[in-house]
Amino acid sequence: MTTALLVIDVQNDYFPNGALPLWNVDATLDAIVAAIGRARSRGEPVILVQHVAASADSSLFRTGTHGVEIHPRIHEAAPGAPVIVKRYADSFHQTGLTDLLSDLGVNRLRIAGMMTQNCVVFTALSPAADRYQVSVLSDCTTTTDGTIHGFALHALTTRVDVQPDA
């Protein structure tokens, strides 16, 4: 079974001084960096996803801003990892993610990233994700507050595996 780690939207706008700083973001970043290290040590591909706003009027992820950039610690942990650019919450929607996963022979997908109730959930529950064994790494996701994070993870448990990365 070929497993890939998908790291969604760990971008500067979600950190202090960004457009929408998230809850527990530093601990989540540390957990994601550690998960990347474990994936790489097992020889698993790491794929980064970057949200780019469809409109120049957006307050988040505007092209050409510091906020749209993937956090530098993610690039340091996964140098040379492919980057899938998306414009919708679902990382599969109108992107090359399915083709990339197919090329890599992936049939198991581990998901980390931001925001739990939005892009993480929409990707994990995407119709395109049905062909994979999907797990969401609960300690490697975050959102605006702990309550919403908890609700989103609990809601996922009926459809995908939700657990901390180990």
Phi and psi at residue 163, in whole multiples of 5°? -160, 160
pTM: 0.97
Q: What gap in Å lies between CA 17 and CA 19, rounded to an integer?
A: 7
Domain tally for the chain? 1
Q: What gap in Å lies between CA 32 and CA 36, rounded to an integer?
A: 6
What is the tens place of the pLDDT at every residue in 93-140? 999 999 999 999 999 999 999 999 999 999 999 999 999 999 999 999
The secondary structure of the chain in percent helix, strand, coil, rounded to multiples of 5, reads 35, 25, 40
The enclosing domain of 12 has a CATH number of 3.40.50.850
Nearest one of 137, 119, 120 to 44, comparing CA atoms: 137
Nearest one of 140, 47, 41 to 85, comparing CA atoms: 47
What is the tens place of the pLDDT at every residue in 144-155? 999 999 999 999
pLDDT at 1 over 80: no
In which domain, by residue range, is 50 found?
3-163
The token duo for 61 is 């992820």
Average pLDDT, the chain: 97
* Band of residue 55 on the pLDDT scale cut at 50, 70, 90: confident
